[in-house]
C-alpha cells in the first residue's frame, strides 16, 4: 500500500472514530456476582503484589522443583523398559541387561510413555464413567463401605454434617482434601458447631492463618519460615522459632497428636478409586493420612468421579507419575489402600462429588481436564504463578488446572480474573503427567469470559482498529509521524507513569518494512525477468533448485522493528532462496486470539490466509515464531466449524515455517553450512561475540525447537554461546498479558534478565519479535549493557564481513 | 552393608530403601531379636510396641526386649499408650524392590498404630517376600482382593514420615516415625 495524502488519512481517521463509537456502544453485560468476584480478585492481586516474601519464596521453589523433577524421571528412565505387553515394566534389580535389550530411554521418554498410557486409561474411564462407578460402588459396598453421590457442594456438605450429627461428632480431623476445599466443608461443619482440624502441616498452617491453600500439593508454599514461626507463636501464645523448621514441625506434631487421639471423625480425600476392588488409594508423606483413617471410628472420603481408575495396575502407574510430578519423589512415604472398614464397628463413607464434573465431561473442550491427578506440576513451572501465587493464579484450585476447572466448580466469574494472568507459554503442558491440553483450555476459558463479560474498552478499541488493515496502516503511519519527536532509535521516550517505566516502548517506524521492501521486490522481479530472457534456450543446470519463500513480515516486526524483516529477507536470500514478499500483509490474528476475541481473530486469520495464498511459494517463512504457532496450531481449531476455511488454513499450515527451522532444516545452515550453501560464510578472524539465547517459549513448548539452536549459533555463525539458566522460562511478554498486568510482567522479565546477565553475555538473541521488543525495552529501562537482537539480525551481522561478495553476486 | 545371602531383588531393595533414608539390616531369623534390641537401645527407646504378627512369628523378640529391660506394651494397648511408646516393631507382608517400600497389612487398629505413632519404627521383612516392582505389588494386592483374603488396610511405607511443606525444606518425622529400620530376614 502506498503512502497516501492527508485527505485519505483524514477519511480513514474519521471512519476510525466511527468504528470506535460503534465498539463502545456495545456494552458488556454486568452481573453483580461477577463484579463482586472481580473486586475480590483485585484485592487478592494487590495483596499478593504487596507481599514482600511471596515471589521470592515461590522463585526458590520453582528453581528447585524443575531439576528435582527431572532427576526423579531420570531415575525412572534408568529402570524403565518396555515390556512385551507394551505397558511399563520396571526392572527390579539393576543387573546388567542382556545384549539384545534396547538402550534405556531417558527420563523424559519414560515420562512421555507413561503419560500416554495414563491419559489413555483416564480417557477410557471418563468415556465409560457410569460403568466404572457402578463397578466401584458394588465392590466397595461388598467390602462394607457406604458409597454416596453428591450432586453439588451443598449436598456433599449436608451429608457429612448429618453424619457427624448422627454420630455425635464434636471434633473432626482432616487429611488433605482438595474436594474438601472445593466444597468449603470446614465452614459448613464449623457452622454446625463441629471443630475441624487440618492435619497436613501445610493445610494446618493456612487454616491457622485463615487462608486457602495456595498450591494443591504444598498449601503453604507461599509462606516463609519466618511467617510460619510468627503465626505459630501468635496462635499458640508461646514463642516458636522463626528460623528452625524442625522446631516448627515438632510443634505441629505435638499439637496435632492430641487432636488425632481425641477425634470422633476423620475426613480424607482420595488419590484414586480402584474400580476392580472398591479400594480408596491415599498418598501422604507426613503420616497424617493414616492416622486420620485409623484413629477415629468413622472415616469419610471426599472424592471426585475423576479419580476412578479400573485396576490396581492403573493405580500404581498413576503413583509413578504423581509422586515424581508432585514432589519429585519416586513414591510418597505412605501409600495406603483402603478397602471397606477394617472392623464391623467402624464405618467408611465414600462421598463422590459431582459439583460440575459431569458438565465438564459433557463439554468436548474441557473433558480432558478430568484426567487431572492433582499433582500441581502446572503451577510449578508457571511464570505468573511464581509472581502472584495460587491465591491469585487460581481460585480454590490453583495453577493452570485451576484456571480450567474453576468455571465448572465455582463459576466462570471466579476464573475471569485469574485466567487473564496466563502468558500462554505452554510450560504447563510440557509437565502435565496426563497430557491435559491446558493452554488451549485456558484460551477457551478466556474466550468464554470475553463472550460473557466483554473486553476492557482499551482492548476492544485496539482490536477493532487492528482487525481493519487499512485503518491499522493509517493509524500506524500517523502515530509514527506524531511520535517522531519522541523517538530515539528503536525506542519511544515517553513520560510514562512510574508503574510503566520498567519497559521502554518501541518506536513506530516512520517507514515500515513493507515500504522498504517494495523497491527491493521490484528490482528482484526485474532481475529475474532479465535472467529468464538471457537463459532462453538453455537448460538450467542447477543441482539443487532454489526454493521459493514467501516472507510473512508480521505486523509488529513490520511496524516496530522493520530491520528484523529486512534482515530476514536478506538471510533467506543469502541461503539461496528466491524470496517474495506478498502485498497487503497484515496481522495473523494472534493478538485477538490471545485476547479471547475469536470473531476478530477469524477475520484477521482469513485476511492472512488469503494474502499468503496469492503466492505459490514452497514455504512461508517468518521471523515471528508466535505467528507460526498461531497458523499451524490455532488456525485449524479457529475454523473448526467452517470446513472450506479450515482446508485453506491447513494448506497454509503445511508450508509455514519459523526462521530457525528454515535455517536448520531447509537451508541446513547448521550442518556444515557455510561451505554447503556457499552463502553464509563465517569470517574466520572475526571476534566471537558472547551470546545468550532466549527461546520464545512456544518455539520450545509447541514447535519443539531446542532451547539453544547450538549448531546454528556456534558452528554456522561462530558465536560463543553462553548457557542461559532457566532458558525455558517465559520472558513475561505473553501477548497482551504484559499490558494487562504490567506489575507481573515486570517481575518475570526481571527474572529473565537476571539470568541473562549472570551468563556474562553482552548480546541476547531471541527468535520472536514479541520477546525481542519486551526484552529490549526492559533491558533499556534497566540500563543494562546488553544488546538484544533477533536471530535474523545476528545472522546478517555475521554476514557483514562478506557484504561485498554478496553484493557482487546479486 | 550388603551381606552374603542377599538376592538381587533384596540388593535392589536395600539400595532404594537407602535412597529414602531407611537403613536395612540383613539378618538371620535367629539373630533378629538381638538386632531389634540393639536398634531400640541405639535410639534410647524404653517403651516398645510389637504388632501381632511379630509376636507370633518372632516370639523371642519379646523376651529379648524384656531381658534388655525394655517395657513391652501389651498386645491390646490403647492408642494413647501407643502414642507414648518410643519404638514400634511391625512385620511386613512384602517388600517392593523398585521403591524400597514395605507393605504393612495388619488389620487391627492397634497393630497398625505400632507403625504410625512411635518415633522409631523397626520393620521385619522376609527376603523371600520382596517383589520386583510396583506392578508386582499391584498384582499381589489384587490377588488378595480376588482371592477373598480381603486386606482392608494396606500401606506401602517408604522411609520415615516427612514433609517439605515449609519452604520446600525436607524435614523428617512429622506425624509418623522419625527413624525407620528394616530387618531383612535372609532365611525367611
- A window 102-131, beta carbon within 8 A of B: none
Distance (Å) from the C-alpha of residue A591 to the closest C-alpha of chain B? 38
Q: What is the model's pLDDT at position A708?
A: 84
Element at A216 (helix H, strand E): none
In chain A, % of residues over pLDDT 70: 88
Q: How far apart are CA A251 and CA A244, in angstroms?
A: 11
Q: What is the model's pLDDT at position A3?
A: 45
Phi then psi for A645, rounded to 5 degrees?
A: -70, -30
B152 and A CB contact within 8 Å: yes
**Do the beta carbons of residue B10 and residue B127 sit within 8 Å?**
yes
Arithmetic mean of pLDDT, A104-119:
88
* CA triple B140-B143-B147, angle to 5 deg: 145
Arithmetic mean of pLDDT, A503-512:
94
Pairing of strands B87-91, B94-96: unpaired
Arithmetic mean of pLDDT, A704-714:
87
A60 and B CB contact within 8 Å: yes
Determine which of A43-52, A191-200, A667-676 has the lowest per-residue pLDDT on average. Answer: A667-676
Beta-sheet strand order (sheet of A619-622) = A578-580, A548-552, A619-622, A656-658
Arithmetic mean of pLDDT, A289-303:
98
For A233, A554, A678, A795, the CA distances from A619, given in Å and listed in that order, are 66, 15, 21, 20
Q: What is the model's pLDDT at position A95?
A: 32
Which residue is closest to A92 within chain B, CA to CA?
B132
Q: What is the model's pLDDT at position A142?
A: 95
User: Which among B142, B152, B162 has CB closest to A312?
Assistant: B142
Residue B29 has pLDDT above 50, yes or no: yes
Contact B163 A201 (CB under 8 A): yes
A401-452 pLDDT, tens digit each: 999 999 999 999 999 999 999 999 999 999 999 999 999 999 999 999 999 9
Q: What is the model's pLDDT at position A808?
A: 43
A253 and B CB contact within 8 Å: yes
In chain A, % of residues over pLDDT 90: 78
B91-118 pLDDT, tens digit each: 999 999 999 999 999 999 999 999 999 9
Distance (Å) from the C-alpha of residue A79 to the closest C-alpha of chain B? 9
- Chosen from A333, A345, A347 to mutate, greatest number of chain B CBs within 10 A: A333
pTM: 0.91
Residue A82 has pLDDT above 90, yes or no: no
Contact B109 A294 (CB under 8 A): yes
* CA triple A143-A147-A153, angle to 5 deg: 155
Arithmetic mean of pLDDT, A130-148:
97
Contact B165 A219 (CB under 8 A): yes
Which residue is closest to B108 within chain A, CA to CA?
A342
Residue A13 has pLDDT above 50, yes or no: yes
Query: What letter does residue A398 receive in the DSSP assignment?
Result: B
Which residue is closest to A319 within chain B, CA to CA?
B134
Q: How far apart are CA A292 and CA A299, in angstroms?
A: 8
What lies within 8 Å, CB to CB, of A11 at 6+ separation is: none
Q: Half-sphere exposure of residue A149, counting CA atoms within 13 Å on the CB side?
A: 11
Residue A534 grid coordinates: 538471457
Mean pLDDT over each residue of chain A, to the nearest integer: 89
More confident residue, A349 or A484: A349
Determine which of A99-113, A315-329, A625-639 has the lowest per-residue pLDDT on average. Answer: A99-113
Contact A245 B166 (CB under 8 A): yes
B178 and A CB contact within 8 Å: no
Determine which of A249-253, A490-494, A754-758 has the lowest per-residue pLDDT on average. Answer: A490-494
Contact B166 A340 (CB under 8 A): no
Q: Count the helices and strands in chain B (H runs, E runs).
A: 7, 12
Q: What is the model's pLDDT at position A91?
A: 37
Q: How far apart are CA A369 and CA A440, in angstroms?
A: 11
User: Which among A199, A221, A228 has CB closest to B175?
Assistant: A199
- Beta bridge partners, A299, equal A266, A348
Which residue is closest to B6 within chain A, CA to CA?
A93
The superfamily in CATH containing domain B8-185 is NagB/RpiA/CoA transferase-like (3.40.50.10420)
Contact A333 B138 (CB under 8 A): no
Q: How far apart are CA A381 and CA A232, in angstroms?
A: 30
Arithmetic mean of pLDDT, A781-808:
80
pLDDT category at A670 given cuts 50, 70, 90 is: low
A150-206 pLDDT, tens digit each: 999 999 999 999 999 999 999 999 999 999 999 999 999 999 999 999 999 999 999
pLDDT category at A77 given cuts 50, 70, 90 is: confident
Arithmetic mean of pLDDT, A287-315:
98
**Do the beta carbons of residue A333 and residue B162 sit within 8 Å?**
yes
- A window 61-100, beta carbon within 8 A of B: 61, 64-65, 79, 87-95
What lies within 8 Å, CB to CB, of A612 at 6+ separation is: A550, A552, A582, A585, A620, A652
Residue from B2, B98, B102 nearest B53 by CA: B102
Q: Which CATH architecture has domain A128-355?
A: 3-Layer(aba) Sandwich (3.40)
What lies within 8 Å, CB to CB, of A138 at 6+ separation is: A278
Map grid coordinates 472392623 to a residue: A343
Map grid coordinates 546488553 to a residue: A786
pLDDT category at A793 given cuts 50, 70, 90 is: very high
- Chosen from A139, A312, A344 to mutate, greatest number of chain B CBs within 10 A: A312
- Beta bridge partners, B104, equal B155
Residue A86 has pLDDT above 50, yes or no: no
Number of Cβ within 10 Å of residue A379's Cβ equals 31
- B window 16-75, beta carbon within 8 A of A: 16, 19-20
pLDDT category at B1 given cuts 50, 70, 90 is: very low
- The full set of domain ranges for chain B reads 8-185
pLDDT category at A78 given cuts 50, 70, 90 is: confident
Contact B158 A89 (CB under 8 A): no
Arithmetic mean of pLDDT, A644-668:
95
Return the biggest CA–CA distance within chain B. Answer: 45
Contact A199 B176 (CB under 8 A): no
Alpha helices in A80-106 (DSSP H): none
User: Boundaries of CATH 3.40.50.10420 in chain A?
Assistant: 128-355
Q: What is the model's pLDDT at position A689?
A: 87
Contact B168 A225 (CB under 8 A): no
Could you write out the three-class secondary structure of A349-390? EEEEECCCHHHHHCCCCCHHHHHCCCCCHHHHCCHHHHHHCC
Determine which of A9-18, A36-45, A677-686 has the lowest per-residue pLDDT on average. Answer: A677-686
**Do the beta carbons of residue A669 and residue A663 sit within 8 Å?**
yes
A198 and B CB contact within 8 Å: no
A422 and B CB contact within 8 Å: no
ipTM of the complex model: 0.97
A-to-B residue pairs, Cβ atoms closer than 8 angstroms: 208
Residue B152 has pLDDT above 50, yes or no: yes
pLDDT category at A545 given cuts 50, 70, 90 is: confident
- Beta bridge partners, A348, equal A299
B159 and A CB contact within 8 Å: yes
Map grid coordinates 485477538 to a residue: A592
B151 and A CB contact within 8 Å: yes
Amino acid at each position: 500500500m502506498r503512502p497516501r495524502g492527508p485527505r485519505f488519512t483524514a477519511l480513514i481517521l474519521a471512519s476510525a472514530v466511527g468504528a470506535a463509537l460503534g465498539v463502545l456502544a456495545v456494552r458488556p453485560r454486568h452481573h453483580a456476582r461477577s463484579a463482586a468476584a472481580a473486586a475480590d480478585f483485585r484485592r487478592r492481586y494487590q495483596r499478593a503484589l504487596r507481599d514482600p516474601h511471596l515471589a521470592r519464596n515461590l522463585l526458590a521453589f520453582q528453581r528447585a522443583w524443575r531439576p528435582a523433577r527431572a532427576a526423579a524421571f531420570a531415575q525412572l528412565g534408568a529402570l524403565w523398559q518396555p515390556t512385551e505387553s507394551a505397558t511399563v515394566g520396571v526392572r527390579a534389580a539393576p543387573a546388567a541387561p542382556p545384549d539384545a535389550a534396547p538402550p534405556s530411554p531417558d527420563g523424559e521418554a519414560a515420562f512421555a510413555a507413561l503419560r500416554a498410557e495414563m491419559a489413555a486409561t483416564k480417557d477410557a474411564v471418563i468415556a465409560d464413567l457410569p460403568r466404572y462407578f457402578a463397578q466401584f460402588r458394588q465392590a466397595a459396598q461388598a467390602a462394607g463401605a457406604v458409597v454416596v453421590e453428591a450432586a453439588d457442594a451443598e449436598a456433599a456438605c449436608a451429608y457429612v454434617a448429618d453424619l457427624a450429627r448422627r454420630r455425635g461428632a464434636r471434633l473432626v480431623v482432616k487429611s488433605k482434601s482438595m474436594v474438601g476445599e472445593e466444597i468449603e466443608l470446614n465452614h459448613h461443619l464449623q457452622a454446625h458447631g463441629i471443630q475441624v482440624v487440618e492435619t497436613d502441616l501445610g493445610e494446618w498452617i493456612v487454616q491457622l492463618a485463615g487462608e486457602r491453600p495456595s498450591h494443591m500439593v504444598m498449601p503453604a508454599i507461599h509462606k516463609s519460615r519466618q511467617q510460619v514461626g510468627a503465626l505459630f507463636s501468635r496462635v499458640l501464645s508461646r514463642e516458636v522459632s522463626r528460623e528452625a523448621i524442625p522446631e516448627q514441625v515438632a510443634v505441629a506434631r505435638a499439637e496435632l497428636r492430641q487432636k488425632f487421639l481425641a477425634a470422633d471423625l476423620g475426613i480424607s480425600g482420595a488419590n484414586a478409586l480402584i474400580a476392580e476392588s472398591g479400594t480408596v488409594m491415599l498418598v501422604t508423606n507426613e503420616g497424617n493420612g493414616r492416622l486420620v483413617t485409623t484413629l477415629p471410628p468413622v472415616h469419610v472420603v471426599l472424592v471426585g468421579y475423576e479419580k476412578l481408575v479400573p485396576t490396581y495396575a492403573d493405580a500404581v502407574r498413576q503413583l509413578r507419575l504423581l509422586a515424581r510430578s508432585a514432589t519429585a519423589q519416586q513414591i510418597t512415604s505412605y501409600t495406603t489402600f483402603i478397602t471397606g472398614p477394617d472392623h464391623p464397628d467402624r464405618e467408611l463413607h465414600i462421598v463422590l462429588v459431582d459439583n460440575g464434573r459431569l458438565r465438564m465431561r459433557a463439554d468436548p473442550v474441557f473433558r480432558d481436564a478430568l484426567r487431572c491427578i492433582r499433582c500441581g506440576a502446572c503451577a510449578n513451572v508457571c511464570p505468573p504463578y511464581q509472581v502472584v501465587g495460587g491465591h491469585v493464579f487460581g481460585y480454590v484450585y490453583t495453577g493452570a488446572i485451576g484456571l480450567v476447572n474453576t468455571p465448572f466448580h465455582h463459576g466462570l466469574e471466579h476464573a475471569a480474573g485469574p485466567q487473564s494472568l496466563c502468558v500462554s507459554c505452554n510450560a504447563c503442558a510440557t509437565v502435565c503427567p496426563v497430557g491435559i491440553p491446558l493452554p488451549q483450555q485456558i484460551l477457551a476459558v478466556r474466550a468464554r469470559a470475553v463472550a460473557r463479560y466483554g473486553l476492557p474498552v482499551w482492548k476492544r478499541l485496539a482490536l477493532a482498529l487492528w482487525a481493519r488493515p487499512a485503518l491499522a496502516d493509517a493509524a500506524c503511519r500517523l502515530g509514527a509521524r506524531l511520535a517522531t519527536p519522541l523517538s530515539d532509535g528503536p525506542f519511544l521516550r515517553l513520560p510514562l507513569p512510574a508503574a510503566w517505566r520498567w519497559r521502554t516502548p518501541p518506536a513506530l517506524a516512520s517507514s515500515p518494512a513493507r515500504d522498504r521492501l517494495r523497491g527491493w521486490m521490484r528490482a528482484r522481479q526485474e532481475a529475474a525477468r532479465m535472467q529468464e530472457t538471457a537463459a532462453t534456450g538453455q537448460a538450467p543446470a542447477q543441482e539443487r533448485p532454489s526454493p521459493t519463500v514467501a516472507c510473512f513480515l508480521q505486523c509488529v516486526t513490520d511496524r516496530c522493528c522493520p530491520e528484523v524483516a529486512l534482515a530476514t529477507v536478506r538471510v533467506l536470500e543469502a541461503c539461496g532462496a528466491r524470496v517474495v514478499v506478498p502485498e497487503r500483509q497484515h496481522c495473523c490474528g494472534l493478538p485477538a486470539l490471545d485476547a479471547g476475541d475469536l470473531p476478530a481473530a477469524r477475520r484477521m486469520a482469513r485476511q492472512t490466509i488469503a494474502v499468503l495464498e496469492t503466492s505459490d511459494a514452497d514455504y512461508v517463512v517468518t521471523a515471528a515464531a508466535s505467528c507460526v504457532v498461531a497458523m499451524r496450531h490455532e488456525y485449524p481449531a479457529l475454523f473448526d466449524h467452517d470446513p472450506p476455511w479450515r482446508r485453506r488454513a491447513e494448506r497454509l499450515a503445511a508450508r509455514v515455517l519459523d526462521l530457525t527451522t528454515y535455517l536448520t532444516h531447509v537451508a541446513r545452515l547448521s550442518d556444515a553450512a557455510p561451505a554447503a550453501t556457499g552463502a553464509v560464510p563465517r569470517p574466520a578472524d572475526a571476534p566471537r561475540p558472547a551470546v545468550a539465547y532466549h527461546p520464545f517459549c512456544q518455539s520450545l513448548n509447541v514447535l519443539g525447537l531446542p532451547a539453544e539452536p547450538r549448531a546454528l549459533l556456534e558452528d554456522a555463525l561462530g558465536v560463543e554461546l553462553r548457557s542461559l539458566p532457566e532458558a525455558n522460562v517465559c520472558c513475561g511478554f505473553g501477548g497482551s498479558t504484559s499490558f494487562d498486568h504490567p506489575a507481573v510482567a515486570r517481575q518475570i522479565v526481571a527474572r529473565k534478565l537476571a539470568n541473562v546477565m549472570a551468563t556474562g553475555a553482552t548480546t541476547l538473541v531471541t527468535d520472536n519479535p514479541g520477546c525481542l521488543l519486551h526484552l529490549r525495552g526492559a533491558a533499556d529501562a534497566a540500563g543494562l549493557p546488553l544488546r538484544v537482537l533477533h536471530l535474523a539480525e545476528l545472522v546478517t551481522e555475521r554476514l557483514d564481513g562478506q557484504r561485498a561478495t554478496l553484493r557482487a553476486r546479486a | 552393608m550388603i551381606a552374603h545371602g542377599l538376592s538381587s531383588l533384596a540388593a535392589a531393595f536395600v539400595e532404594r530403601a537407602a535412597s529414602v533414608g531407611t537403613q536395612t539390616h540383613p539378618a538371620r531369623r535367629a539373630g533378629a531379636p538381638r538386632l531389634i534390641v540393639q536398634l531400640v537401645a541405639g535410639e534410647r527407646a524404653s517403651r516398645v510396641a510389637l504388632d501381632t504378627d511379630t509376636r507370633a512369628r518372632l516370639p523371642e523378640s519379646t523376651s529379648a526386649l524384656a531381658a534388655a529391660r525394655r517395657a513391652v506394651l501389651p498386645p491390646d494397648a490403647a492408642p494413647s499408650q501407643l502414642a507414648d511408646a518410643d519404638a514400634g516393631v511391625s512385620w511386613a507382608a512384602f517388600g517392593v524392590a523398585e521403591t524400597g517400600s514395605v507393605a504393612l497389612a495388619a488389620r487391627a487398629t492397634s497393630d497398625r498404630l505400632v507403625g504410625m505413632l512411635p518415633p522409631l519404627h523397626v520393620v521385619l521383612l522376609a527376603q523371600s517376600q520382596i517383589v520386583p516392582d510396583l506392578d508386582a505389588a499391584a498384582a499381589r494386592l489384587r490377588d488378595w482382593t480376588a482371592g477373598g483374603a480381603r486386606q482392608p488396610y494396606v500401606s506401602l511405607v517408604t522411609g520415615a514420615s516427612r514433609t517439605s511443606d515449609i519452604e520446600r525444606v525436607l524435614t523428617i518425622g512429622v506425624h509418623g516415625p522419625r527413624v525407620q529400620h528394616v530387618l531383612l530376614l535372609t532365611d525367611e
